[in-house]
Structures are given as structure tokens and as C-alpha cells.
Amino acid sequence: MKLLTRLRQYFTEPVDIPQSDAPDSNTNSQPLHGGIAYPPETARPNEEPSPSSKKGPTVHVVRHTVLNQPNNNNNTYSYSSNDMDVDLSYGEYDERLPNVLDWFRQHITHDLGSRSLNYVKSLFPIIQWLPNYNFHWLIFDLIAGITVGCIVVPQGMSYAKVAGLPAEYGLYSSFVGVAIYCFFATSKDVSIGPVAVMSLVTSEVIKNVSAKDPTYTAPEIGSCLALLAGAITCGIGLLRLGFIIEFIPIPAVAGFTTGSALNIISGQVSSLMGYKKLVSSHGATYRIIIDTLKNLPHTKVDAAFGLFFTRRYPKFQRIFFLINVLRSAVIIIIGTAISYGVCKGRREHPPISILLTVPKGFQHVGVPNITKKLCSDMASELPVSVIVLLLEHISIAKSFGRINDYKVIPDQELIAMGVTNLIGVFFNAYPATGSFSRSAIKAKSGVRTPLAGIFTAAVVILALYCLTGAFYYIPNAVLSAVIIHSVFDLILPWRQLVLFWRMQPLEALIFLAAVFVSVFSSIENGIYTAVCLSAALLLFRIAKPSGSFLGILKIANKKPNGDDIDVIRDIYVPLDQQGVNPNLFIRDPPQGVLIFRLQESFTYPNAQHVNSMLTSKAKEVTRRGKTVQTKRKQDRAWNDPPPKKQKDGVKLEDNRPLLRAIILDFSAVNHIDTTGVQSLVDTRKELELYADDEVEFHFTDINSGWIKRTLIAAGFGKPRDATKYTSRSIEVGSAAPLRDIENPMVTNSSQLYMPSTVRMNGPRRQFDEEEAIENGTPNSEFDDGEDSDTLSSPDDKKDSVKQLRSDFLHKEYCPVISTKYPFFHVDVTSAIVDISHRNVLDVNLKPHITETDPENGESVIKKENKANTST
């Protein structure tokens, strides 16, 4: 029982700190309203207390004033309270902190049945749009589907050659991709099938796995890769983990895509020139280029086909390539017709390299021969394959979603791609993903729904069953030309690289590194380089966040025409003036106060860095609470700085203030973990040891209840010594509509004023009776105009204003944030006002002088005596 009692006491929050009257101060000081120091003639007179409300107790609210204006030697303000106190009726507010059970209810058990049903429905997006299908959509989908089908047939056969597979396997992958995707898709434009980069990765996987066990056939390896990569991709989508692909930035993707395109183009040149057997396309890109150039003397007549169809014709582009949409199909048809005329009488010994026999129909449909050993040998090849599948497809889907104004769900797209590859295994298909070129053509053809994929699948089936005889004469050089044409657009233009450099030089270097490694090593290493460098850059940015110490800048809004200045207020900007005009005058915060804004979540990677920034700055601008000169030699630590030599017995030792409070602006902090909050605890201990007194830690703009919960558990939010905390400033807001907020310039008011905007020295506006009734504002704020006779005399105006006040003004305000934790504030201004009100900074108002005791040689601290100084 004792243990339970002690645990309960340990985890129970401290008792609330009682409120008490604040001390009186100088009555001649200037009142501060909304960060504005009013001139003495506009200062508001003493206010009468308002009656207490049933909503809560009456609390003494103290106004804050500016005691000292900045001068040449001191650019800071010192604050205190003035004698204009108001008995404000307000309701207590204790914010309920979140807990694990609340999180579990909100994210797991809340409306579980409905959420489960919606999850199942989301797996089949087709049921949402298919009931609305109409004939108009059918016409456009039919046109787009047939157009894409004419392109995917030659591209599928060409990419199969890149993957090291027979041409028919490219058609199998093309059919399954377009037929299955439409049932799970959230993008109408994406066309799934064989693509260049994934085909290149598949060829590398086939080469590496075959080296481990030569008994595996290339189709078996390709199907096994589709099975494993599809299962992983589908699992990521079902678990809603698609956000992981966002960790790889665009320059990294562009880097290995460009490197892959260069590798593919260099590997197809030997086939285009007719000596493919003399050059291996599985080495590093630079070696392939060197070998290709060495074997140029072995060029054959195939080059006539390849070079002719590879060349671009800008003048006749629209005519020759049918507006550049069906160029692949046109190339194949023309090349096959010429090849048929050349090879018709020499089928056994053709003078050029042709595709030869393509099996008719689906010859390899069935359960593939996939063994446990094959999966084990392929495990090391999966990361690269999955990354390529994810990045290519999602980047294409998001791109067309933004262009055509519809929402793409990445997790559902991963499910669609995963299911497509899983079903493709039974057709002996190799991995398929989104194709940018075919998706662009599909979008330009006016596609309306994903159902266009069914018509594309019909074209592929037609080719498999009716056109395989014609495929016999397709020149390999023409297929290489189709590949080079399709892949050439994947190379990033140099203008885009310049744009990367202008936006983010480090990311431009990642792009160059990915291209360099892909060319001089391998595609796998290029992908790993891009991913690792991107992760390293992200971790560096998290570990070294850009925090800034803030100062005070007075700003106003100036109209373009005229010298009118409106809405004068204080804002907090970096003291180093980053991002603002260097000619501005930024005041330091009150002496003994540091204001720090962290621009990143406070987690374990950056905890030590933030600790170092806070302690270094505090020791730079504030002095020790117990100076080295006041210590005996035997009590000094080995790392203390040596005492300064004294001159003439008396010396002004240090003009820097003592550290009394740190204000942490958490407006950009979305999370804080255990290491982060422990770093704050260590920082507080270190600074209190340095200041030789308690240092208050105030937090502003906290966005999450979980952050408050974490800070409170570590002992923040309240003063540790409640006996020193005898008064406070409460942040309250109007509990009624805006008409309850009275005008700042109105005198003889008994209401607490909380300004949202202030007009200083501006033109007087025309009186509006409707606005006066709405806002409770007298016409003294307006010019006499055509409606000024609404209130005929000053006495009538005064009576009318009083009537408005009694009818419309309420006297109830509520705390903005929880009153239980006084060191949590709504903004930085509130924190400074609270610190100043409680006279925390009074210790820094007078300098300290050290005088040497001639008897024992030690320094004794004395206060400055102005009378002696003046004499």
C-alpha cells in the first residue's frame, strides 16, 4: 500500500498555485496594450472593477507598463505592473491532457465497424465510379485504349529483350498490367506494363541469380521476382505504409533514372549496329560504351534500319510519326515491311537480325516453378526492385493527378500494382509498373476512366493470336530504335539540373552522384547511392535544425498612398536578422531573458545540438551567478576561466545580466520525445548551476496536447519553488462576439481591453451608426459627415454611447489556455508580460561592482551607490 501511495503521489500533478494580488508600482508609467506603448496623454484611466460572474472566481488582473524606454546604452525595455487593476470575472479552464487510452479509442476502436467497411470499399475504387459510367466516357476510353494498345505491343516486345527474356513475355506482362490495374486504380491515366528501368533491373537480377545457380531459367527468375516484389508492394499498400516513398526526393529519382537511361541506350547501340553478340550489355555503362566503339568496324546492314528510324525529323514530325503518338507502331510496321521484302526468300539465313518465331497465344499460362531456394537466392535483389516499382509508379500517378486535377491515393496504387504483379505470375509475366510515355499518350488521347485498360488488353490479345506471324520479320535493330526513342526522354535536361542547383545545391549533388555511380559502377549501386545520400541529408537536417534567438521588432502597416500607419505591434524576429532587412533596428529581449525558436521537432537526433545552442548563447550574453573572483582558489573548478586582474582595487566586473528565464517558441515543434525532454532537463540543470538560481522555462505556441503531457511529466509548466510564485498574469480572451471588444481610444471605460488592431495617428473615419451599435463605438472616432446628425449634440452622443454600452457590452472573459500550468503561454508576448509582471528581472536593474578586500585578497560584491558616484 505504501508503494502504491508513493507512486500515486509521484505521478500526481502538484497542487494549483493560489492567485494573489500583484504589488503596486509606478502610476506614471505608460500602459502597454497589444504590444504598443501609448503616450501619457492617451493612457487609459483607472478602471472600475466589474462584478463577479457565476462562471468562476474573481482574479486580480494587472496591466503592464513600460518603465524605461530604450536609449543609446540600453536597447531593451523593462516591464512592471501599474496601478490600473481590474477585478475580472473569468471561468477556470483546465485542459484535459491526452492519454494512451484516448489515443487507442480515437485511432483503433472509434467507429470500428464503419471504418472497417470503408477500408474494404476503398480496396475496390471501381465500385464508386462504375455505376456512373456512360456512353460518352465509353467513346473516349475506347479511343485511348486502342491508341495505347498500338504502342504497348512493340514496346512490350522491345523491353522484354532488355530484360533478357523472349519477346512474348513482354506481351504477357503488358496484358496483365492493363487488364487488372483498372479494378484497383485511383488514376485514370497510368498505364502499367513493361518499362525500361524495371526491365534493366530485371536483367541484372537474372544475371546475378543465374550466377548462383545456372539451373534457373530466365522466365522462372522473372516470374519469381514479380511474385516477391508484388507481395511486398501489396503488403505496404494494405498496411498503409506508402508514405515511406516520400523519403526519396525528386533529384534522387531523376539521378538513377537518368543513369539507367544512359545504360539502356548504350546497351542498345550494338544491337542497332548489328553486332550485339560482340558487346555485353551487363557491365558498367562506360565499359559498354568503350566496347561499342571498339567494334564499330563490325557494323552490318542492320544499321540502315536502326539509324534511319532512330533519327528525329522535326520538319515532318507530325506527318511521319502521326503527331508523335503512334511513332513506335509506325516504326515497327515500316521496318517489318522492309524486312519482309529483304528476308522473304531467306527465312533460314536472313541477312539481318530479326525477331524470329513468337509463340501464338498464352503458351506459358499456369503455376510457375518457384522454389524456396530460388526465393532465398533472390532475397538480396529485392530492395532495388521494390524501390524502382514504388518510385516509378507513384511519381507518375501523382504527376498526372496534379495535371488533370484528381486525387491519387498512393497506398491504393501500391495495392493495384502489387495485385497486378501477383496475378501476372500465373501468366509467367515479369515485373510491371507505370510507364510515363504510355501514360502521357493515354492522357492526351482523352481517357475518361481506368476502364480504357480493358480495350488496351484486347489489342494485346489480338496481337498475340493474330499478328505473331508478322512478328517473325521484325528487325532487332528496329526494336532497339524503339527502345532508344522511348528511353531518350528519361534523360534529365541540363536546364533542370541548373534549376536543381538554384533551388537546393545539395540535392543537385545527389543527382550528379547517382548518375556518376550508375554510369561507372552499376544501376543497383546508383539507386543505393541516391537513397543513402537522401537519407543522410534528411538526418543531417533533423540533427542540425535551424533554431534562432529572437528579438523585438516594432512594425506597422503603411498604406501605399499617404503616410498613414495602422496596426502598430511588436513581432519577434531572429536577432541575426536572417530573412529580414538588415537595416531594421531589432531590440534585444528584456535583460535576463532568452527567446529561442526551434524550427524542427525536438527529438533524439537534434537534442544535443539544441542543448549546445541554448547553453552557449546563455553563457555568451549573461554572467555567472557566482563569479570566479568570488571563489577561493581551492574551490575553483579546473575548467573555470582564470580570474581577471584587478586594477586600483575597484573594477566593474561584468555588465551582463543574470539569466532568469528562457522562452521556447514551440510553434514549429510537432513532436518531442524522451531524449528531447531529457535534454531540456539537463539544459535547465546546467543553466541553473551557471546562474546560481532558478531559471524559468516558459513554452509558447504548443500545438499538441502530447507535447504538453511530455513536458509536464518532466516537471515543466510550473515553477519548482511555489513560494516564489505569488502572482501571475493570466491570458484571457473574449467569451462573446467581437462587438464585446471595446475601442482602445474610448475613455471612462470599466472594461478590460484586448485589442486585435489599433489605429494610431490615422485619419478619422466617417461615423456609421450601424457599426457604432454593432461595436459599441461612439462617433468620436469618426469624422462629421452626412450621417453625423444622427446624434444631434455631444450630450446626446454621450447618452447614446452609454446606452450602447449597457445594452451590448459584456464583462465576461475566459482564459485562452489552461490556468493550471502558468509557464505555458499562448504566444511570446504573453510570456514576456508574465515574467515582467512578477518582477523576475528586477535583479538585473542594477550593476554589480567588485571591490578587493586588502586583508585577504578576495573580492567582495557591492551595489553601486549613485550618490557616491555623482560626487
DSSP 534-584: HHHHHHHHHHS---EEEEEEEEEEE-SSSS-EEEEEEEEEETT-TTS-TTS
Show which of 480, 515, 541 is a domain's final residue. Answer: 541
- Residue 747: how many CA atoms within 13 Å on its side-chain side? 7
Nearest alpha carbon to residue 199 among 164, 167, 171: 164
Inside any domain, residue 657: no
Q: Which residue would you say has higher pLDDT here, 651 or 54?
A: 651
Would you place residue 370 in the very low, low, confident or very high pLDDT band (cuts 50, 70, 90)? confident
Show which of 809, 825, 860 is a domain's final residue. Answer: 809
Q: Which of 110-124, 421-435, 831-845 has the lowest mean pLDDT?
A: 831-845
User: By three-state DSSP, how is residue 786 classified?
Assistant: coil
pLDDT computed for residue 597 by the predictor: 93
Cα separation, 553 vs 585, whole angstroms: 7
Name 603's Cβ contacts closer than 8 Å, sequence gap at least 6.
542, 671, 672, 673, 675, 676
Inside any domain, residue 315: yes
pLDDT computed for residue 88 by the predictor: 42
Cα separation, 776 vs 772, whole angstroms: 5
Name 702's Cβ contacts closer than 8 Å, sequence gap at least 6.
666, 669, 708, 711, 824
Helix ranges restricted to H, 85-217: 100-104, 112-122, 126-129, 135-162, 167-181, 196-212
Q: Which residue would you say has higher pLDDT here, 848 or 121?
A: 121
Q: Flag whether pLDDT at 524 surpasses 60.
A: yes
Inside any domain, residue 576: no
User: By three-state DSSP, how is residue 587 classified?
Assistant: strand
The DSSP line for 821-844 is -TTEESSHHHHHHHHHHTTTTGGG
Helix (H) or strand (E) holding 257: helix 250-273
Give percent of the chain with pLDDT exceeding 90: 25
Number of helices and strands in the chain (H, E): 31, 19
Inside any domain, residue 56: no
Q: What digits encode the pLDDT tens for the residues 172-184?
A: 999 999 999 999 9
Please give the average per-residue pLDDT across 632-647, as a whole number.
63
Inside any domain, residue 745: yes
Inside any domain, residue 618: no
Q: Flag whether pLDDT at 18 surpasses 60.
A: no
Would you place residue 480 in the very low, low, confident or very high pLDDT band (cuts 50, 70, 90)? confident
Contact 148, 442 (CB under 8 A): yes
Would you place residue 309 in the very low, low, confident or very high pLDDT band (cuts 50, 70, 90)? low
Please give the average per-residue pLDDT across 719-727, as a whole number.
68
What's the distance, Cα to Cα, between the start and end of the chain in Å?
Answer: 70
Show which of 525, 541, 557 is a domain's final residue. Answer: 541
Q: Flag whether pLDDT at 559 surpasses 70.
A: yes
Average pLDDT, the chain: 75
pLDDT computed for residue 61 by the predictor: 38
Range of the domain at 514: 126-541
pLDDT computed for residue 6 by the predictor: 55
Q: Flag whether pLDDT at 808 surpasses 60.
A: no
Q: Flag whether pLDDT at 546 surpasses 80.
A: yes
Cα separation, 47 vs 742, whole angstroms: 13
Inside any domain, residue 348: yes
Length of the chain: 871
Q: Which residue would you say has higher pLDDT here, 5 or 698?
A: 698
- Residue 89: how many CA atoms within 13 Å on its side-chain side? 15
Q: How many domains does the chain have?
A: 2
Name 832's Cβ contacts closer than 8 Å, sequence gap at least 6.
79, 589, 590, 593, 595, 663
Inside any domain, residue 79: no
Nearest alpha carbon to residue 293 among 310, 273, 277, 307: 273
Q: Which of 549-563, 579-593, 833-847 has the lowest mean pLDDT?
A: 833-847
